[in-house]
Structure formats: C-alpha cells, structure tokens
Amino acid sequence: MSNSIKYSSTRGGESSLLYEDVLLSGLARDGGLFMPEEWPQFSHSDLNEMQHLNYAELSAKIIRPFVEPCLSENELLNISKDTYSSFNNDVAPLFQLNKNLHVLELFHGPTLAFKDYAMQFLARAFNQALKKRAQKGVILGATSGDTGSAALEAFKGRENIDIFILFPHKRVSSVQQKQMTWINEKGAYALSVKTDFDGCQAIVKDCFEDLKFKDETSLSAINSINWVRLLPQIVYYFYSALKIGAPDKEIVFSVPTGNFGNILAGWMAKKIGLPISKLICGSNQNDILTRFFNNGTMERKNVLPSYSPSMDIQVSSNFERLLYEINERDTNKVKQQMKDFKSNGNFKITKNQLKKINKIFSAYMISDEETLELINKVYTDYSYILDPHSAIGYGAAQKALDNNIISKDMSVISLACAHPAKFPEIISKSINAIPKKTSHLEKIMSSKEHFNIIEPSINDIQNFIKSNMRN
C-alpha cells in the first residue's frame, strides 16, 4: 500500500484526491461519492495489539492510513482525544442481554445519538483543515432526526464555518427537533422544510450539483455522503468486537438502517480486517433496503411516517458506495444505475451479484407494531429500554436467528443508536413508562426554539444560505 490513500468518485469524474480535498468537497463534482482507491489492511496480530488501546487511541490507529499525509499521527491522536473527552468514560459500552447477544450503546455523546461519534470528529477535522488553508466554509446537511442535532451541536460557534441543516417539517420527534432548534448562535441554522427527508436530501444534492453555487459558498457536506463522516464510525465496530473475542472469533452485527451509512461502516470494518461474519440490516416499514437485499431491485416508494423517524427514508444515498463495489468499480455502470434510479425510481443488479452480497448482508423489516412489542419484551425480559430504532436492530437479529441465517452460538452485537429518552411518546406507548431524561436534555426541552420554516425550493434555500452566510 502507498504512503497516502487517494480517493476517486464512484461516477468516474474525479480521481487521485487526498483526504483533505475529499473532506472539504463532501460530494464529488460529478454527483458521485468518494471511495478510497485502495484499502488498508489490519492483520490478526494488529488486531491483537489493538485490544490494549483506549477508544481515542484505537480511533487514531484505524483512521490514520486514510488521512495520511494530511494529518500527522500526533494531530490525529489529539483530534481523537478531544473528540471523545466529553463522552462517557467507556465511550461505547456493551450491555449484555444474554450469553451471545450484546447491545452496543452508541448514545453517550452530547446529543445522545450515534451520530455524535462521527460528527464531533468531523467538526474538529473541518476546523483544522480550514485553518490550515486560511479558508471559511459553509456546511449544508439534511437530517431525518439525529444527524442535524449532532451536526449543529458539533459545529456551532466555529468562526470559520456556517452550518445550515434541513429537516422535514413535522416529521422528526419533539426531542429531536428541540435538540436542533434550541441552538441560537450566529452561523448555525435549522430549517424546517415542508417535505419529507428524501425531499430535504434531494435539495442538498441539487445544491452540490449546482457547481456555481457550490463554489461561491465553499459548500461542503456533513451527511454520510461525506467520506470522512464514515471513518469514525468504523471505530466502534472494532472497539466492540475486540471486547468480546475478536480477532479469535467472528462477530455478527445487527444495524438499524436508513441512509446506509452506519452499516456501510461495518462493511468497511470487515473490508480492512475485522472478522465480521454477517451484517444484518434492519429496516422499518420504509423497507427499500430489505426489499433490495431480498430481490436485487432497488425501488423507491413513498415515505411512510413511523415510530422510528430517523429511518423514514426511501433513498439510501450511501448505498452508491456499495453499488460501486458490487459493480467491481465500473463507474459507467454506477452512473447509469443512479441515472435510472433518479428518473425511474428503480434499478437492478444481477442474480450473481445479489448472491455474492447476501453472503455478507441479510435484511429484515420490522413494523411499528413489532417495534412496540420488541421494546416491551426486552424491558420485561432484561429490564432494559431500547429506543424504537435500536429495537429494529434487535428485532432484525432475532429474525436472523429464527431463520437460521446465523447460529445461536454466534456472538451478536446489536447497535443501539439513540437514547430512549429521545422518544418518550413511543416508549410510553410500549411499556407505559417514560424513560428518565438526562439533566442536559431537561435543559434543552425547556429552552426556546429558534428555526425557520421554508418551502422545498432549491432557490429559496440557496437564497437563505447566501443571505445568512457570515463574511
């Protein structure tokens, strides 16, 4: 492997970019997503050595090959230490439900959701890169719930960055909205857009594809379309797997999945050496991914509101990265399939391609009714409260066990992606009790809201951004 990994667009328009260029670009100029041109490899002995590292040290160890030579070893370690200093002492603790099933708690950051693990890192990485270049930047992102609050929390108050977050009007939980809208600082804006998440995400992509607008605003992305958003998410797969027996045994991960970024980070962890035997994709009733992994057709339908709003998605934008690998990096195929999907709402892969990826991925849909039942069952059996998204990950793991996709003696880690206190209405509906809020969340919920309601118009949103950018 060379001393510095270079990056290319999934659609072939850009290649040989370094980490810093990819970080600040977000989306490739041809509309594609960036992927590494080669993958680092961690050996069995490397993984054994990792067992002795704390979370920040492990983060620096895993991310380092992807960011050289733009960040030195010391710079990266300092960013990692600073990123996770405000998290719980055990940054990503495991809760054991039974002999072979653990819940990985990814809600010990500032906004009580897994997005904090990447967003806090990303904000510091952006800040460092922009300072080096003596530049200012504009961040534009869309959120189905947790990304927006994590991003605004991480980027607020940074002098060289303005951030604008689009969220679907009346389609996020009351807690998720308040976590975004309580922030009242210059350069940090929450915009409630009269559409669903896919509509918000489409506006973001259209803004990036408007190269004149992108260039004049120095636009960049914090959604997981930004390659660097994914890197910190690989870390907790290694951290948790090493705790329960890797690299000497293989691990199964079950992941509640909407935009495909979190489970893709698991696939990346496997790609660079973590012994993962299966990745289980849990969907809610917006089951585009489950249908794809079952029949090989990606087909967009209408978004249906659910008890797990962060997963109310029918366009999993990160999937393009896996599609690039499925197509053996044939950028023309990817470009055509994404064109078909945008115009016709569907594309297909071959039966052989489907068979190959089903060796790694299995997928299951969990309905709203099942979600309530799962929250209740886990609470009754283990005195443990899952939020509705985490319940989908747990439920998908149970279905994989019931269908003999994984054996009962396999070690399974189910990702818990948000604190149950973020969804009190759903938890109460299931177990007739409201989870206790943290003191910080209590403060947020009693704060005044600051946000703008805006039409789903690219012109309106671009004009708002230009009018509110700090010079």
Catalytic residue numbers read: 115
Q: Which residues are bridge partners to 346 per DSSP?
A: 299
Residue 467 CB neighbour total at 10 angstroms: 7
Question: Cα–Cα distances in Å, from 284 out to 189, 234, 304?
Answer: 29, 23, 9
Nearest to 114 by CA among 139, 140, 87, 141: 87
Q: Which residues are bridge partners to 47 per DSSP?
A: none
Give CA–CA dist 303/309, Å, rounded. Answer: 10
Chain position carrying tokens 């189910």: 414
Side-chain-facing half-sphere of 248: CA atoms under 13 Å? 6
Tokens found for residue 215: 């260039």
End-to-end CA distance of the chain: 42
Peptide bond into 275 cis (omega under 30): no
Residues 6 or more apart in contact with residue 91 via CB below 8 angstroms: 55, 56, 84, 108, 117, 236, 239
Q: Which residues are bridge partners to 362 per DSSP?
A: 280
Give CA–CA dist 127/119, Å, rounded. Answer: 12
Nearest to 20 by CA among 59, 83, 75, 57: 75
Q: Which residues are bridge partners to 188 per DSSP?
A: 163
